[in-house]
Structure 1
Amino acid sequence: MKVELFIPCFVDQIYPETAFNTVKVLEKAGCEVVYNTNQTCCGQPAFNAGFWDDAKAIGSKFLNDFSDNGVIVSPSASCTGMVRNYYGDLFTNTTAHNKCRAIQGNIYELSDFLVNILQFDYFGAELEGRAVYHDSCSGLRECKIKEEPRQLLSKVLGLELLNMPDNETCCGFGGTFSVKFDAISSAMAQQKVDHAMDMNADYIISTDASCLMHLQGYIDKQQLPIKTLHLADVLAGGWGNV
């Protein structure tokens, strides 16, 4: 299957290795990956901040950068959720309406695509240690994924996946929320990391680089013996180049 790859801003600028690992994972699952280098942002930061005109301009570029009859896959539930759930607010009853609806029906978060569309969940990945999975707000509530990442992680050799208390609670990032309400945001990150530490976890794994960046910032500041990992990085580990 040919898939168009959407790499969000956070991944492109801060975690490019996650982008490359997403390609590795998709290719190992039998996909032909196409990447349009003209792509930029989905417009979510502007949309969430209330700048809908700016978000619409960015979203228009997104619609032009991707085809309306192909499958789009992204290693971000947050950005996938933005396109799926909120582009209708920007483009309903506009000239882009039909293409917007088509793309909304064809974009998938990585774990959703692997498990539910390709029905592929074993990559031969290896990771020694104990891990908890963090349900990002966007993954759980906007993309409706919960069991899919856990199914993929359950097939990783050497990894013990633990059931963390309050794993459906927000990590505290929330985009500009973490800037405007930094004390609350930091306290929420602390609670999330404390729960993982209480279980003697070595890793916190999620589908969203933004959540992981926020949690890793708290971990680094407190110099804690735990690490965050993106799901794509875990699935690409232990089996070398494809």
Structure 2
Amino acid sequence: MTYWEPARTVDRRTRSAILTAVVAVSAVLIGVAALLIEILPGAPEPAAVGIDSDQPTTEARGQPTTTEGHGRQGRHDRRDRRDPTTRLGEADGAVPDGVTVFDDDFPAVANLDPALLGALRKAATGAADDEGEFFVNSGWRSPEYQNQLRREAVSKYGSEEEAARWVATPETSLHVSGDAVDVEPSDATAWLSEHGAEYGLCQIYSNEPWHYELRPEAIDHGCPPMYADPTQDPRMQQ
């Protein structure tokens, strides 16, 4: 017994030392590996937390909004641009920024009633003397475009009744027939509010200061009283 016990003690101590060394080296290697993962090019980044994939961007301007008369003051939906593949474009009446009443290259302008467009251009020329400029937010629209706006308005406002205060149906919309235009910016609508009747241009709805239609009799007699909103307009009851 006295001969073997010291040898066994030494053997156990050796194994313990080796095991400790192995553990220490393994820890170092694990640390180095973790560091390399962080600094190597192409290492995956942590997933973002709390980012809304539907968060609106300042996408191509001129996409439809959810109002019948959607001048910039009423652009509830410059932010309402979801999947662009489901939305209609310029051929259906969408208007990018910077389009004036003189831009015939855009159907929203070119397809307006000629008498309305002529009055707008005369008014815009007059406003230019006061350093004003008329931009078209929305003019002519295709029935498909109008129907899309109507669906979006129902979704936004929660009912057909409330949506009707802002967006007409394709069957009743004066935009679809080319008889209405939405003008911006606010300086232009303010100018038209004061001088529009001289050109036969009248604001029709109190809740839409950007929406103008042609009323030739206004040149001599002034614009007729405004409706509170489109639901008060008999033309919308068809």
Superposition TM-score, scaled by structure 2 size: 0.25
Which protein shows a greater Rg?
Answer: 2
Q: Which has the higher strand share?
A: 1
Greater RCO between the two (CA within 8 Å, min separation 6)? Answer: 1
Higher helix proportion, which one? 1
TM-score, length basis structure 1: 0.25
